[in-house]
Structure 1
């Protein structure tokens, strides 16, 4: 009898939790549906860099494409990829594909991702690329980014910046020496050589954007 009373009390709560989970999942999927897909043209933006200057993709007149990476200071996954992102910028910037990093988190929710902390992190790690604040969180929803890091490779064409790859940097965030699939490098190499990118999408692994 006691167990029955507990069940009657707990059942509404369990139903509420289940409904919330389903609603959250649907909202997340809806957000992804609203983001850029392969073949879409990415709208340009103007965001503040850690040096105080505003940066837009249109500033790069001679670029062949862009490696737009949503990342942050505080996520362990993002931190694990920082050196690899620096290496990607060093390798591909001279080939016309610079890294453009964007911090999408709300600093009120993650104080460690404040603009002041972004400046500190960029200086500490020696970032060679723009590290931009998505103030008001307007850019990352347009892209459909959900994780840090989350990569969007854009190919610059006469009609605009086409999304040609979305997802992860590689297949091993824990150990750069044990990477087997270098998704981003393979995608950029294929793009620059005019070959088909395969795969065009992978699952981004990282912290959820706050």
Structure 2
């Protein structure tokens, strides 16, 4: 008997329907302050991308087991955009027309595994694409915000704070460049980068991520 494969979905604000997730792409170091804290030059260079599996998504309010194989789990709050249409070599001016909506997300990172991979010149897959590594709040349909506060707290203590206007590459530009590498499709999600202040999460802590105008995201770790 063939296995039954369930397509991951995420909630849609104000609707009983759910958005099916096809793929998850992430853009690295899209805020100058974060690039600097990671020891890199924030000059406006071509963006680079990595991926997470679709089933890495986590529902808002979830209590998660602390990830295995890491002693240095990090939080990265990000604006996530969801695509209702796709294409290749998309012009930046046409990119907004592909977007279904946006949400608050957290790119969870096993920073110790990432450091080892970087040093050895190896892929980041096991540092970024592990189980339950992509908590996402409900999608708000429509154009994503271009300005507004983006922030993250742990147990009420501020860790990350910035503004969406600080992005090096806009959402439209990210979509356009990504579409030169892969053919985008409905159901694709794109994490658009994180501001400075990334740092560790410990077992027993509660993480809250916020972007002005979008549903806040909360997850906790056992």
Q: Which has the larger radius of gyration?
A: 1
- Answer yes or no: same fold by TM over 0.5: no
**Structure (1/2) with the larger strand percentage:** 2
Task: Give me the TM-score of the superposition, normalised by structure 2.
Answer: 0.26
Task: Give me the TM-score of the superposition, normalised by structure 1.
Answer: 0.27
**Structure (1/2) with the larger helix percentage:** 1
